[in-house]
Amino acid sequence: MSLGLYNKKRNFNETEEPEGKKKQGKVKTLSFVIQRHKASRLHYDLRLEMEGVLKCWAVPKGPSLNPKDKRLAMMVEDHPYDYKDFEGVIPEGNYGAGIVEIWDKGTLTALDDIDPSKAEKALLAGLEAGNLKFVLNGKKLKGEFALVKLKKADDNSWLLIKHRDEYATDEPYDSEEHTPKSSPINKALAGKKAASPVKKKPS
């Protein structure tokens, strides 16, 4: 798998994001991360480790633990493994300029009935088939999820769906409500609001 596109989009003299190198060595545990990214629009980035890189989807509305929600997830270029720890500011004028913060992270496995040593193979087969079933063990996201590829002309569109299990909820789920007010992005947004002058309504 190639990190060429990732590297091409970024100037590593300017951004503090990690340079795209493939992770070496044997994998024991697979990781996932969800980063909250304030770029031109606020969105969430779901990243799942496979074959030494992170497979990535931008999720505009963020993930949900309610199985009724089908959250659009746009597949984007592979990111390097080290990106899972990235938090910080991407300077103005660079790709994805804005703020990145980690919203949730943890381990990634295939469905429980799959031998852990075959988990990565099962995940890759699911990815290839456009029907990826996986289990997350994070702080906020737990249990089974699926990413289902939409059969449309635009082949980057997937849906992120929570499977019904002990971690699912029937209540409305808004990932923004599960973000601390003190998060770097929320602080920046609050600062911006405070800084902009209050406009009087025309009478």
Judged by CB under 5 A, which stretch of 1-9, 38-46, 140-148, 170-178 contacts Mn ion? 38-46
The amino acid present at 61, given as its one-letter code, is: K
Spatial contact of 47 and 36, defined as CB atoms under 8 Å apart: no
Q: How far is the CB of 53 from Mn ion (least distance, A)?
A: 16
Q: How far is the CB of 134 from Mn ion (least distance, A)?
A: 20
Q: Which of 15, 109 has the CB closer to Mn ion?
A: 15
Q: Which of 190, 163, 179, 194 has its CA nearest to residue 69? A: 163
Spatial contact of 18 and 33, defined as CB atoms under 8 Å apart: no
Residues making up the chain, counted from first to last:
203
37 binds Mn ion (CB under 5 A): yes
Spatial contact of 146 and 132, defined as CB atoms under 8 Å apart: yes
Q: How far is the CB of 91 from Mn ion (least distance, A)?
A: 15
Residue nearest to Mn ion as judged by C-beta position: 37
Q: Which of 64, 63, 78 has its CA nearest to residue 20? A: 78
Backbone phi, then psi, for 82, in 5-degree steps?
Answer: -65, -15
Q: How far is the CB of 82 from Mn ion (least distance, A)?
A: 16
Judged by CB under 5 A, which stretch of 25-33, 44-52, 59-67, 130-138 contacts Mn ion? 44-52
CA distance 163 to 11: 39
Q: How far is the CB of 122 from Mn ion (least distance, A)?
A: 27
Q: Which of 45, 49 has the CB closer to Mn ion?
A: 45
Number of residues that bind Mn ion (CB under 5 A): 2
Of positions 45, 49, 104, 144, contacts Mn ion by CB under 5 A: 45
Residues interacting with Mn ion, by CB under 5 A?
37, 45
